[in-house]
Copies of this chain bind each other. A is one copy, B any other.
Amino acid sequence: MNDFIYDIPVRVYFGRDQLHHLGEELKKFGTRVLMTYGGGSIKRIGLYDRVVKEIKDAGLELFELSGIEPNPRIESVRKGAQMCKEHNIDVLLAVGGGSTIDATKFMAAGACVDFDPWDFLDPAKRVKCERALPIVDILTLSATGSEMDCGGVITNPETRDKYGAMYPPLLPKVSFLDPTNTFSVSPYQTACGAADMMSHIIEVYFNTNTDLYMLDCFMEGLMKTIIRFAPVAMREPENYEARANLMWASSWAINGFINGGKCQAWSCHPMEHELSAFYDITHGLGLAILTPRWMEYCLNEQTVDKYVQFGVNVFGIDATLPQMDIARKAIDSLSEFLFGTLGLKRTLPEVGIDREHFDVMARKSVGGRVLNGFIPLREEDVKKIYEMCMS
């Protein structure tokens, strides 16, 4: 069991009636606020007006940057960093989902340096981020967990690169999690978010490091929560209980707590980043397609125990069946959840992906080496997994 450091000093205001704290929290960091967001959804749900009012009422000066893309692009990050410098911004306020928060994190870092913020992400340079402007966020989509972690993923469309990086200064200072801000999330985006969260947990749960039983129980609880409430939220978008459970689960699926001392590489995320870098598909959708195939590919006599634990504790599969049967039923149950209950597309061709870039995507996903995850994956393994996703 490895040692670990637990350190998540994000302050979270959770619930319906918390936004009156926004002004007081922003003020702690200064008076000049850059508010970042994506398209018009925050205007449609009335959140934009409410936020502007809170900022004005607090006597703060507001600057705005809109148009941050899903799979956010380095160009937006550059623009935001530039604005911070020009307007002498004190604090960034991201209003949106993981894409907006991720982009805002690297704007906050870019604002403090003279070089291109892509250098924080580019594996060839990977300049360490030593400091960043403070970040506050208001979450509108339960999925990536960016609201409670210090990482982000940015795309460079010119080079078809999509890289993630984690730096402690990028941890948000304060996050506002109001489940009602996700009432307008479509059933499809709700499903993609649920798949993303499931993947965050599965990447940690299926792990060869021994770790705390307690954390495995927590992960099983998170997965049961997602499996229980994602379909409710799809059916009844304004079901507060469902939205609240999904929202808090999204944060805890990836804020680092469940990792404990596990320090093994992730597998499905790097494989998926290539899909969305090349085809700009929704991250959660790509993960949904990959995850059951990856699980199938990794199943063997050495790894079967974890599948059994997963199948019995998460899906309630009969523990008296033979181990391999439980394992296969567990994969089937997960597939049924993702492709049946959530209604997500099952294959790469269905989302417009063919074999054209398999070679380069496989090479990039393992970073030219071996992906040392639950089982080690080489370039040819990743290609086989992509191939399994063709039908």
Determine whether A4 belongs to the interface, using a CB cutoff of 8 Å to chain B. yes
Query: Residue among A1, A10, A12, A260 with the most chain B CB within 10 A?
Result: A1
Please tell me which stretch of A91-99, A153-161, A243-251 contacts chain B, meaning at least 4 of its Cβ atoms lie within 8 angstroms of it: A243-251
Q: Which residue of B lies closest to A210 (CB)?
A: B241
Rounded to whole Å, the gap between the CB of A198 and the closest CB of chain B is 14
Q: Which listed residue, B4, B9, B244, B248, touches A15 by the CB 8 Å rule?
A: B4
Closest to A174 in B: B7
What is the minimal beta-carbon distance from A120 to any residue of chain B, in angstroms?
24
| A240 shortest CB reach to chain B, Å | 7
**Chain B CB within 8 A of A82 CB:** no
A195-244 interface with B by 8 A CB criterion: 210, 212-215, 217-218, 220-222, 224-225, 228-229, 240-241, 244
From B14, B217, B229, B248, contact of A221 by CB (8 A): B217
Complex partner residue of A217 from B5, B17, B220, CB under 8 angstroms: B220
Complex contacts, A115 vs chain B, CB 8 Å: none
- List residues of chain B with CB within 8 A of the CB of A320: none
Query: Are the C-beta atoms of B213 and A225 separated by less than 8 Å?
Result: yes
CA distance A2 to B241 in the complex (A): 11
**Do A221 and B225 have beta carbons less than 8 Å apart?**
no
Whether A3 sits at the interface, judged by CB under 8 Å, is yes
Q: Does A53 contact B (CB under 8 A)?
A: no
- Whether A11 is near chain B, meaning CB under 8 Å from some CB there, is yes
Interface residue? A126 (CB, 8 A): no
**Shortest Cβ distance from residue A143 to the other chain B in the assembled complex, whole angstroms:** 16
List the interface of chain A (C-beta within 8 A of B): 1-18, 210, 212-215, 217-218, 220-222, 224-225, 228-229, 240-241, 244-245, 248-249, 252, 260-261
A-B residue pairs, 4 tightest by C-beta: A3-B15, A217-B221, A9-B9, A6-B12
